[in-house]
């Protein structure tokens, strides 16, 4: 007798095979865990917030048995990964690791002052290990990467466009500001530190020297930041999205 797996809410949209309203009749022909079964259907374990077997809470290691009804629920916002959870250990603080396929999203998160490391060209295995080691939510468009057991917290971005992806993350984690905009280096995520104008004077163009007095420096890559035109453009973009700075 097969099992019935019911994918609730937006998880149904991730199903690979034909289904009726997120319900899939699943053949129980081998020893499979709930994690195996749900991921075989196309849903990475990171997207699951609650698992029920015949109405009772279960975890990913639970074995699938004949005739069971499995309910799979996504998180309902706001999700706080620092809180105790039956399916995964809590994070120390909310921080992200952006995969190479969501690089622009990483810049937008940094722009808001949110701690966001960037995976760059690292191999999948290393990216997954880093997310676990540094206690970060792995953000990606790659389902296979999220299926790795080393990944405990992650989010499969549903949107294509970086601003829509940002809105997706802010909604999911209930981040509504005020944000510490321009508090992190956009290039390397390090928190910026104030720097005296005198110290960097030789590096400034004449117009910047004349019109600006407040400067910040990245302690990691040494890039200098000031509230110039780039800054204004970014603030306008955030305002367009309904996001004010602090
Ligand atoms: Zn930097």
pLDDT tens profile 67-79 = 999 999 999 999 9
User: Ligand 1: distance of its center to the CA of 217 in Å?
Assistant: 8
Instruction: Tell me the percentage of the chain whose pLDDT exceeds 70.
Output: 98
Mean pLDDT of 26-44: 93
* 79-88 long-range Cβ contacts below 8 angstroms, 24+ apart: 79/49, 79/172, 79/173, 79/174, 80/173, 80/174, 81/137, 81/153, 81/173, 85/49, 86/50, 86/57, 86/59, 87/45, 87/48, 87/49, 87/50, 87/51, 87/59, 87/60, 88/152, 88/153
How far is 112 from 214, CA to CA, in rounded Å? Answer: 19
**Could you tell me which residues come within 8 angstroms of residue 157 by beta carbon, excluding any fewer than 6 positions away?**
102, 105, 139, 140, 141, 165, 168, 169
pLDDT grade for 244, boundaries at 50, 70 and 90: low
User: Ligand 1: distance of its center to the CA of 199 in Å?
Assistant: 17
Q: What is the average pLDDT score of the chain?
A: 94
pLDDT grade for 231, boundaries at 50, 70 and 90: confident
Mean pLDDT of 133-159: 98
User: Ligand 1: distance of its center to the CA of 51 in Å?
Assistant: 41
Work out the angle between the directed axes of helices 162-172 and 103-111 (0-180°, nearest 10). Answer: 60
The Cβ-side half-sphere exposure at 33, using a 13 Å CA radius, reads 10
Q: Per-residue pLDDT for 19 more than 80?
A: no
Residue-level pLDDT at 246 = 45
How far is 156 from 144, CA to CA, in rounded Å? Answer: 10
Q: DSSP code of 216? A: E
Mean pLDDT of 14-23: 85
Residue-level pLDDT at 229 = 67
**pLDDT per residue as tens digits for the range 73-97:** 999 999 999 999 999 999 999 999 9
Name the 3-class secondary structure at 40: helix
Residue-level pLDDT at 116 = 98
Q: Per-residue pLDDT for 13 more than 90?
A: yes
User: Ligand 1: distance of its center to the CA of 110 in Å?
Assistant: 11
Going by DSSP bridges, is the β-strand pair 215-217/224-225 parallel, antiparallel, or unpaired?
A: antiparallel
User: Ligand 1: distance of its center to the CA of 113 in Å?
Assistant: 13
Residue-level pLDDT at 243 = 76
Mean pLDDT of 49-63: 97
Q: Per-residue pLDDT for 7 more than 70?
A: yes
**pLDDT per residue as tens digits for the range 155-197:** 999 999 999 999 999 999 999 888 998 899 999 999 999 999 9
User: Ligand 1: distance of its center to the CA of 195 in Å?
Assistant: 14
The Cβ-side half-sphere exposure at 216, using a 13 Å CA radius, reads 17
Residue-level pLDDT at 17 = 78
The topology (CATH level 3) of 3-73 is Ubiquitin-like (UB roll) (3.10.20)
Residue-level pLDDT at 70 = 98
67: left (phi over 0), alpha (psi -120 to 50) or beta: left
State which residues have CB under 5 angstroms from ligand 1, the bound ion: 185, 187-188, 218, 220-221, 223
Mean pLDDT of 29-39: 91
Give the pair of three-digit tokens for residue 73. 């629920």
């Amino acid at each position: 007798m097969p099992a019935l797996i019911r994918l609730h809410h937006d998880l149904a949209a991730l199903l690979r095979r034909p289904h009726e309203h997120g319900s899939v009749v699943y053949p129980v022909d081998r020893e499979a865990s709930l994690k195996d079964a749900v991921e075989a259907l196309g849903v990475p374990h990171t997207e699951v917030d609650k698992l029920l077997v015949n109405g009772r809470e279960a975890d990913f290691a639970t074995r699938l048995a004949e005739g069971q009804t499995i309910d799979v629920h996504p998180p309902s916002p706001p999700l706080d990964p620092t809180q105790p959870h039956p399916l995964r250990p809590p994070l120390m603080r909310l921080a992200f690791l952006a995969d190479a396929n969501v690089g622009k999203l990483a810049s937008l998160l940094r722009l808001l002052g949110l701690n966001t490391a960037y995976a760059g060209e690292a191999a999948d295995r290393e990216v997954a290990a880093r997310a676990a080691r540094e206690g970060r939510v792995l953000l990606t468009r790659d389902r296979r990467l999220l299926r790795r057991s080393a990944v405990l917290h992650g989010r499969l971005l549903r949107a294509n466009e970086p601003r829509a992806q940002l809105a997706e993350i802010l909604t999911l984690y209930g981040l509504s500001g005020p944000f510490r905009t321009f508090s992190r280096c956009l290039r390397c995520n390090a928190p910026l530190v104030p720097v005296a104008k005198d110290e960097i004077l030789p590096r400034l163009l004449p117009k910047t020297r004349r019109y600006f007095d407040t400067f910040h420096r990245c302690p990691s890559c040494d890039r200098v930041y000031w509230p110039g035109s780039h800054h204004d453009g970014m603030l306008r973009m955030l305002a367009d999205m309904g996001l004010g700075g602090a």
